[in-house]
Copies of this chain bind each other. A is one copy, B any other.
Amino acid sequence: MTDKVKTWELISREPVTRNGWRDLERVVFRRPDGSEADFFIKIEFPSAVVLALTKDREVIVARQFRPGPNAIAGELPGGAIDEGETPVQAAERELLEETGYRGIVRHTAVVLDCAYSTKRLHCVIITDCEKVAGQALDDGEFIEVVLMPLPEFREHLRSGMITDMEAAYLGLDLLGLL
């Protein structure tokens, strides 16, 4: 690898819009050739996403309507990491709230989300899950829990109707299940 690719120098950043969830900043960098360039960057909080498998190696899928794609998707459980929580605590909480399952944390990994977002995705892999409670959904959450055997889950991934595909494949990879 050459010196061609360097970290750019941050010159300035200013808010474009602030609304508590989808903040944008105009960020100016100095590039390797000395020129300045500005970008609209999404300021997004880290989130936790859980690849969770039951003792029978079925994947716990949260089937729900998603307002961005305007479609029903089969998602991995997960959500925002609350103030004071670790990513693992957030993952365990979201899994329990959305599905009623609890298990053993096996791996964690951090993944970049988007070239124009500050977001980091904390992937948490939980195995040997058992149902210990009912769902405890937030107001406005309508989630159907679907258990998918691995071959069916792989087909689901190939369908593309999931926004957490990276965490799903990465989790299966780290578990040696690809």
Q: Chain A residues in contact with chain B, CB under 8 A?
A: 1-2, 4-8, 10, 16-17, 19, 21-22, 24, 27, 29, 31-33, 35, 37, 39-42, 63-73, 75, 109-120, 123, 140, 142-144, 146, 154, 157-158, 160-163, 165-166, 169-170, 173-174, 178
A142: which B residues are within 8 A, CB to CB?
Answer: 4-6, 31-33
User: Chain B contacts of A70 at CB under 8 A?
Assistant: 7, 10, 118
Copies of this chain present in the complex amount to 2
Q: Who on chain B is nearest to A160 by CB? A: B111
CA gap between A77 and B6 in the complex, in Å: 18
A169–B160 alpha-carbon span in the complex (Å)? 12
Q: A67 to chain B: which residues have CB within 8 Å?
A: 8, 27, 29, 39, 41, 115-116
Contacts of A27 in B (CB 8 A): 67
- The answer to whether A22 and B24 touch across the interface, beta carbons within 8 angstroms, is yes
Partner of A71, one of B40, B112, B143, B174: B112
**Once the chains are docked, how many angstroms separate the CA of A75 from the CA of B5?**
13
With contacts A1-B63, A5-B63, A22-B42 known, what are 4 further pairs, Cβ within 8 A?
A: A68-B117, A111-B160, A123-B160, A166-B169
A7 contacts which chain B residues (CB < 8 A)? 65, 70-72
